[in-house]
């Protein structure tokens, strides 16, 4: 499985529809300071269910919506779609290409879609859990995370290893089942 493409509208500095295509292998994003490189990884984490505005380098969730410039009005919503190649079948869904979309409005309303069908956040989380691409997974490692992993308490480091090993899903399901 690999990330083929990201499509954004109104996410942070990407006011117009912006499509970023990825090839298999290594991609490097280069550009001047403030040009939006980190906004790309923020967009990926946001679709994957990131709920913390602070983690997305904002004060509140609304801050991810294009705020306007001196020549351009702010937008009312932000939308990001990740298109994943699933020809290897890593995602438990019977499609070779899977799109995951998140949309949020200034009113606070928010939507998730899988292959353009409205779903709940839980469906997105279930779909990607154990694939290693969750917003808080090891596939996205920020500079401060490296330090946090190295300095983590053993219990916390165990959670990191469990996620990498793919057993976290079963633990969470067990917790859910015993709560009922």
* List of residues contacting ligand ATP (CB under 6 A): 12-13, 31, 33-39, 63-67
Asked if 159 and 169 count as a contact pair (C-beta separation under 8 A), the reply is no
- Tell me how far, at minimum, the Cβ of 36 lies from ligand ATP, in Å: 4
Structure tokens at 153: 């308490």
Q: Which does 102 bind (CB under 5 to 8 A by kind): ligand ATP, Mg ion, none?
A: none
- Tell me how far, at minimum, the Cβ of 25 lies from ligand ATP, in Å: 22
36 is in an annotated binding site: yes
CA distance 77 to 21: 23
Taking alpha carbons only, the member of 149, 151, 176 closest to residue 161 is 149
Q: H or E stretch including 114?
A: strand 110-114
Enumerate the β-bridge partners of residue 82. Answer: 6, 100
Question: x/- binding map, residues 123-162, to Mg ion, per CB under 5 A?
Answer: ----------------------------------------
35 is in an annotated binding site: yes
The answer to whether residue 41 forms part of the interface with Mg ion (CB under 5 A) is no
Q: Which does 157 bind (CB under 5 to 8 A by kind): ligand ATP, Mg ion, none?
A: none
CA distance 177 to 144: 34
The answer to whether residue 38 forms part of the interface with Mg ion (CB under 5 A) is yes
Q: Say how many residues touch Mg ion, by CB under 5 A.
A: 2
Asked if 27 and 94 count as a contact pair (C-beta separation under 8 A), the reply is no
Residues that bind Mg ion (CB under 5 A): 37-38
């Amino acid at each position: 499985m690999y990330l083929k493409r990201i499509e954004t509208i109104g996410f942070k500095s990407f006011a117009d529809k912006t499509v970023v295509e990825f090839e298999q292998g290594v991609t490097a994003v280069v550009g001047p300071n403030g040009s939006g490189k980190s906004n790309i990884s923020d967009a990926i984490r946001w679709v994957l269910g990131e709920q913390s505005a602070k983690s997305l380098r904002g004060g509140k969730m609304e801050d991810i919506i294009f705020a306007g410039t001196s020549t351009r009005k702010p937008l009312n919503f932000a939308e990001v779609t990740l298109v994943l190649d699933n020809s290897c079948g890593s995602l438990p869904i019977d499609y070779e290409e899977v799109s995951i979309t998140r949309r949020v409005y200034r009113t606070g309303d928010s939507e998730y879609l899988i292959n353009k069908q409205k779903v709940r956040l839980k469906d997105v989380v279930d779909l990607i859990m154990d694939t290693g691409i969750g917003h808080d997974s090891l596939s996205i490692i920020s500079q401060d995370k490296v330090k946090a992993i190295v300095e983590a308490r053993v219990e916390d480091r165990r959670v990191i290893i469990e996620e990498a090993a793919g057993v976290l899903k079963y633990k969470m399901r067990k917790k859910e089942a015993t709560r009922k």
